[in-house]
Structures are given as C-alpha cells and as structure tokens.
Chain A
Amino acid sequence: MPLNTDKTIEGSFQLIGGDFSIAGESSARLKSILTDLGVQEDIIRRASIATFEAEMNVIIYAAAGTLHYEISPRQIRITLVDMGPGIKDIDQAMQEGYSTAPDWVREMGWGAGMGLPNMKKNSDEFKIDSVVGEGTTVEMVINLP
C-alpha cells in the first residue's frame, strides 16, 4: 500500500536521560505518525521496536539525546544521537545477552543485553558509532515496500 504522502517528512524529539516517566513516549509518537501515513503494520512494529530500544538506551545510559526521523516514500530513517558514556567495545555490546546495565536498571526490566541486537534485527540497515566519554550515534533504516 502506498504512503499517504509523496513527500519526505522529518522531525525530532529531545530525550532526557534518567526520565523513566516519559520513557517510550517519543517512540509511541513516531508509531502514531507512521500509522497516520498508512505504513504497513509489520513495518510500523519493526520501526517502533528498534526506536523504542534506542530511546530506552538514551534514557538509561545518557544525560540527553535527540531522536530524529525522516520518512520518505522509500524508507524510514531513524537517527539517535546521545551525550552518554559511549561504548568501549561495540562488537561485544552487539552480542545477545551482553549488558553493562546496573542492578537498578535490571530491576526495572531493562538491561537484558538484547537492546542493540533487537535494533539490528528490526532494521534493514544499522550503523553505530561511539566515542567513549562523548556519546553514541545509532542510525537505522527500514525500507518501505
């Protein structure tokens, strides 16, 4: 089914680290935008899950971050840039089950070490760049049929 627009739509949400009260709200808003555009349900789910995992990582680990989305008739591009501690070993962080989350995060149901693998699994293209002490950038592309 074609999108309800032939233009590229973009926008951003500001994310605040540690604020669990609104955790997931930006991903839910993006889901709502994709629904309004008539994007296929399974693609909305993939984009929402990948975005939610990335948003939670910013909330859990970083001081602040930005979620930027760009929706064109061909693809959904989601970019998260955070001011966080950075990731020392990306290959290790990408392994299922590996996590550096502290106990209080695990007690809240996060830090299973599935976040980054889940983002990759739900994206057609996945890129991650990180500098220790500066922050992390995640870019995910999901193609539209």
Chain B
Amino acid sequence: MKLEELEKLLQAKVVVDSDNLEFNIDSACSADMMSSVLYYHTPNSLLITSLTQPHVVRTAEIAGIKIIVFVLNKQPDQVTIDLAKEKHIPILVTPYCMYTASGKLFEAGLPGCLNK
C-alpha cells in the first residue's frame, strides 16, 4: 500500500514525508508496547501507535518498520520529527483511534503482521 492511499484512508496529515518513490508497505501492526512491536512485527510494515516519543522512531528503525501512524491526532514533538527525518521514516497523524485506523487499513486489504 502506498503513502497516498494510507493518507486518504486514514484522513491523515503527513508530518514527515517519504523521500522514497518506491514506498510500498505490505503489512501493519498496532501497539503501544514497543517490545510487542519488536517481538511480533514483520519488516516492511506500518506501525499504528498512540505513543509519540522519539524511541518509537528508534523502535521502527531497529525493526525495519517503514512508516509510523500516530492516532487520535497526537502530535509528535520536534525531537521525534527530526529523528524520523534523519532515519527516513515517514510519520502520519490520523484523527481515528487505533481500532478504527487498524480496521480501515485491514478493510482496504492491508494484512496484520502475523497474518501476512
């Protein structure tokens, strides 16, 4: 799924844009516990979370997660934004809650990490 489609489905605002023209993710996971993300993720996936601290970006970097979506319009601070830019990890902010955001992407055909 491409960035433009994610943006549209989630009615999201792009906080950090992608500089990768071939950006295309094939699964997603939703979690606020970073160890769960590290344990259950698959590479080339999307992370939906309500935490906006910089170590969420670190977690994505370490796990090979390609994009982060912050739910409930939670705005990351400048440190998180700068780290995401440095690591080339796009950030979207959606007004939806975690359940709804996950459901919309699943309904559009994006599978969960473990069900891929």
Q: How many residues of B contact A (CB 8 A)?
A: 21
Within 8 A of A (CB), among B13-59: 32-36, 38-39, 43, 49, 51, 53-56, 58-59
User: Which of A24, A41, A115 meets B35, CB within 8 Å?
Assistant: A115
- Tell me how many residue pairs across A and B have CB atoms closer than 8 Å: 72
Q: Is the CB of B53 within 8 A of A118?
A: no
Complex-state Cα separation, A45 to B53, whole angstroms:
22
Q: Which residues of B contact A117 (CB under 8 A)?
A: 39
Q: Which residues of B contact A114 (CB under 8 A)?
A: 33, 35-36, 38-39
A108 in the interface, Cβ–Cβ < 8 Å?
yes
Interface size class of A (residues with CB under 8 A): 20 to 34
Q: Is the CB of A28 within 8 A of B58?
A: yes
Within 8 A of B (CB), among A19-78: 20-21, 23-25, 27-28, 31, 41, 45, 48-49, 52-53, 56
Which residues of A come within 8 Å of B, CB atoms?
Answer: 20-21, 23-25, 27-28, 31, 41, 45, 48-49, 52-53, 56, 106, 108-115, 117-118, 121
